[in-house]
Amino acid sequence: MDRTGTQISYVEAVRWAYRFLLGREAESEAVLAHWASLQDGRLILNYFVRSSEAESHMMAGAPAYGTWAHSPLGASAIRAAWLLRFNTTPTDTQIQAELAAHADLLSYRRAFLAAPELRELAEQLPWGRPEAPATAPAPSAPPVIALRDHTLTVLDRSFRLRGDGEEGYWNGLVAGPVDPSLERLARLLRAAFPDGGAGRVLADAGANIGVTSLVMGAAAPYHAELLCFEPDERNLPLLRHNLDANDFPQARVLDCALAERDGVARLRCGTRNAATSALAEAHSRTQTAGAVFRQVPVRRLDSVLAELGIERLDFLKLDIEGGETPAILGASEALARDRAIVFTEFNTWTQMTAGARNPMEVLEEWHAAFRHLVAFGPDGRPLPIVDHDGLLWVLHTVLTERNCVDDLILCDDLDWLERWE
C-alpha cells in the first residue's frame, strides 16, 4: 500500500512506461503483467530506457501514437510516473501539485522525459546525449530477466538480495557456500576500524549487484561514505535496489570503472556471468569471439574524490578482473596521503589476459608500492609476506591450491592484525 492507502499498481506503471517512453500502447495485457512482475519501478524504467526501441523512438522526436495522448492528465499517469522515477507513489497533495503545474498530459510527458532520473539512465545512450545521430538501430524488445530474491548471511549480518536467476554469479551466490572472501572482508574492516568506521570513506571497485558493498557497509556501520563503482549497466539497477533494500543511505553508486586515467574504454561484458566483465584495453588478450563490448567511462579515483569534495580515503576493495594495478595508480594521491588499506583480488588468469601482465611482476610491484603485503595462510588467517621467497610462495599457492585466485591485503601498517578475530 502507498502513503495514500491506494495499492501500488505496477501494471499501470508499465502501461504508462509504454506510453511515455515508446509513445504507444502495450501489445497485450500479458505483456503488461510480464513487466509488472519485476515489482520494482526503477528496474522497469531502466529496461525500458535502455531498450533499442526507446533509442529509436527518442531519436525520432518521441512522437505519441493513439488516443491516450489526447486524454487529460490524471492521477493514474502521475502515480505511474512517480513509481517509475522514485519507486514510490505521491500523496494526494503531491498529485494536486503536479496537476496544477502541467497544462495537459503531453506537457507532463515532456517533463517526465526530461527528468534527471531518466537522463541519468540514458546518459550513455545516443539519445541521451546532445550529439545524438539522426538514425538508430532497428527496435527490439527489452531484455527478459528472471528476478530472484535471496537472504545471504555473512558472519552475524543477514542481507536481502535480488538478482537475475539466470545469471552465473547469482546462481553461484545462492547455491554455493558463503564466499570466504566476504568473511575475510568483514573481519578485516572490523579489525581495521574497531570504532565501527566512524567518519571513514570506503570504496568498492567492482561492486556488481552490491554484495561486497553491503558487507563493507555493515562491517564499518558508522562510515561517512560508501562509494560503489560498477561499469556494467546490467548490474546497476540491482545494485541500487540491494543498497536501498538493506538501508545504506551513505552509499553512492557510480557507473564507471576505476583506472589509471580519466576517459572511456571498452568493457568486455561477461555473457553468462556479469562478474567476469573486464576492461578490454589495447594490450588485453581477452577472447573476442562471441563477446559483447560496450563503451564505458573510466575514472581515476583521485579525480572522483576531488569532484565529490571527499578529502580522505580509508579503505579500497578491488575486484576488477585484471585492472587492479591501473586502479591503484589512479588512486596514488589518496593512498599516499591517507595510507588506506587495499583489499584486492589476485587472479592469475585475469592478470595474464585482461591485464596482459606476468602475475609474479604484479606481486612484486604491489609489494614494492606498500610497506606490507598480506596473504592468507593455510589456516585462513592473515600472513604477512616479508621477502621475495614469500611472494613465490603466494604465487605457487594461488596456482596449485587456490584455483588461481585469492585475496591479498596491501597496507602501510599492521596494527589491525592483533585485532583480527
Helix (H, G, I), strand (E, B) or coil at 269: strand
pLDDT at 118: 76
Average pLDDT over residues 274-291: 78
pLDDT at 179: 93
Beta bridge partners of 160: 151
Give me the residue label for grid cell 512517480. 82
pLDDT at 133: 37
Average pLDDT over residues 220-248: 94
Q: Is the pLDDT of residue 8 over 80?
A: no
At residue 416, what is the residue type? W
pLDDT at 289: 62
pLDDT at 9: 83
Beta bridge partners of 253: 228
Q: Which three cell numbers stand for residue 123?
A: 546518459
Instruction: Kindly report the average pLDDT of the chain as a whole number.
Output: 87
Q: Is the pLDDT of residue 7 over 80?
A: no
b/e string for 377-413 if b means 16 or more Cβ within 10 A?
Answer: eeeeebbebeeeeebeebeebbeeebebbbbbbbbee
Q: Which of 362, 411, 360, 405 is nearest to 382 (CA)?
A: 411
* pLDDT tens profile 389-415: 999 999 999 999 999 999 999 999 999
Percent pLDDT > 90 in the chain is 60
Q: Which CB contacts under 8 angstroms, 24+ apart, belong to 263-266?
A: 263/297, 263/298, 264/295, 264/296, 264/297, 264/298, 265/295, 265/296, 265/298, 266/293, 266/294, 266/295, 266/296
Q: Is the pLDDT of residue 337 over 90?
A: yes
pLDDT at 52: 67
pLDDT band, residue 60 (cuts 50/70/90): low
Q: Which three cell numbers stand for residue 73?
A: 492528465
Cα–Cα distances (Å) from 339 to 203, 228, 299, 307, in that order, read 14, 20, 20, 20
pLDDT at 272: 77
pLDDT band, residue 141 (cuts 50/70/90): very low
Average pLDDT over residues 308-337: 96
Q: Is the pLDDT of residue 68 over 90?
A: no
Q: Is the pLDDT of residue 1 over 60?
A: no
How far is Cα 347 from Cα 318, in angstroms, rounded to an integer?
A: 11
pLDDT band, residue 69 (cuts 50/70/90): confident
* pLDDT tens profile 90-125: 999 999 988 988 888 988 998 888 888 777 766 554
* pLDDT tens profile 372-382: 999 999 999 99
Helix (H, G, I), strand (E, B) or coil at 43: helix
At residue 322, what is the residue type? G
pLDDT at 41: 86
* pLDDT tens profile 185-207: 999 999 999 999 999 999 999 99
Q: Name the DSSP class of 61.
A: T
Percent pLDDT > 70 in the chain is 89
pLDDT band, residue 137 (cuts 50/70/90): very low
pLDDT at 237: 92
Give me the residue label for grid cell 599516499. 336
Q: Is the pLDDT of residue 128 over 50?
A: no
Domains of the chain: 10-128 (no CATH), 147-419 (3.40.50.150)
How far is Cα 140 from Cα 419, in angstroms, rounded to an integer?
A: 55
Q: Is the pLDDT of residue 6 over 60?
A: no
pLDDT at 318: 98
Which residues have CB under 8 Å from 123's CB, separation 6+? 129
Which residues have CB under 8 Å from 84's CB, separation 6+? 13, 16, 17, 20, 41, 42, 44, 45
